[in-house]
Amino acid sequence: MSFPDITGELSARMPELRGRMIANQPLADLTWFRVGGPAQVLFTPADEGDLAYFLRHLPADIPVMVVGLGSNLIVREGGVPGVVIRLGRGFNEIKVEEGHRLRVGTAVPDVKLARAAADAGIDGLAFYRGIPGGIGGALRMNAGAHGGETKDALVEARGVDRAGNIRVFANADFGFTYRHSGAPADVIFTSALYQGRPGETAAILEEMDRITQAREASQPIREKTGGSTFKNPPGHKAWQLIDAAGCRGLTLGGAQMSPMHCNFLINTGGATAADIEGLGEEVRRRVKAHSGVELEWEIKRIGIPA
């Protein structure tokens, strides 16, 4: 599958663009599942100003999709029409600020934020050690683990909207709920400010080690996986519903519900995106039939089917 190459047309519209555009760039290697088709255009902006410039000059009828570290993402084999934006080096800075605060770019991996906070003696962010992915995704889905959530520590975040305007959102503007942010869907977050509290580096690192050990003991983190597949429904744990419906270890093609943690989809080696998404839908069907509960995807799915 390939799309018409529109990079020449876009370059002509944006003579001052500093970032990189690639036509029909395969996305499989940018996701933890290692599946999926190409982006019609993959754009990596140089920095926030470059991103704003690009969006201001991008025709309004061209769709825009953002991908982060690809840890919580299924890209369908038909690929993603329009522009896929991936933030890189211009968005990976971490600054320690007064008052036990950290300002971080949204391309920073969650684990790197946790480590930087520990090194600075800032407590309250160690829970990020247990979350795969990057800060941009954490903001969008109120990522959390081990008793902490993004909403508990975020002060504000900067972003660029589809019209190319730079905007700042306070914590209250996000409308955070469980694994969800109510921030405008067209905003691409570029940096975030976190508030921690005084702590001892050794104690924080010890807590991070405990989180690491807990993950390794209970989750298939060394597999090609996307983390938790479904959100926990109110009053339930997704993995318990999946287990009770007989879906632990269930397979479809090269995809499997992990025998180790049955709320984790894994690519056993030869899965397609259709296998992985199809297995997830089959699990949803069986859980609904068994318990009456409708599971909601936590993994993001983008693109068109093959």
What is the side-by-side strand order in the sheet with 224-228? 224-228, 264-267, 255-257, 251-252
Would you call 206 a catalytic residue per the annotation?
no
Contact 95, 191 (CB under 8 A): no
The DSSP letter of residue 164 is S
Contact 101, 121 (CB under 8 A): no
Would you call 181 a catalytic residue per the annotation?
no
Amino acid present at 114: A
Would you call 228 a catalytic residue per the annotation?
yes
- What is the C-alpha end-to-end distance of the chain, expressed in Å? 8
Torsion (CA) 95, 99, 100, 104 in degrees, nearest 10: -30
Instruction: Give the residue among 35, 38, 25 at the shortest CA–CA distance from 269.
Output: 35
Q: CB neighbours of 110 closer than 8 A, spacing ≥ 6?
A: 128, 129, 131, 132, 133, 134, 135, 138, 143
Side-chain-side CA neighbours of 264 within 13 Å: the count stands at 22
Catalytic residue of the set 48, 228, 258, 286: 228
Phi, psi (rounded to 5 degrees) for 258: -55, 130
Catalytic residue of the set 179, 215, 248, 284: 179
Q: Identify the H or E element spanning 85.
A: strand 80-86
Among left, alpha and beta (phi > 0; psi -120 to 50; other), residue 179 is left
CA distance 169 to 34: 33
Contact 160, 188 (CB under 8 A): yes
Q: What are the catalytic residues?
A: 179, 228, 298
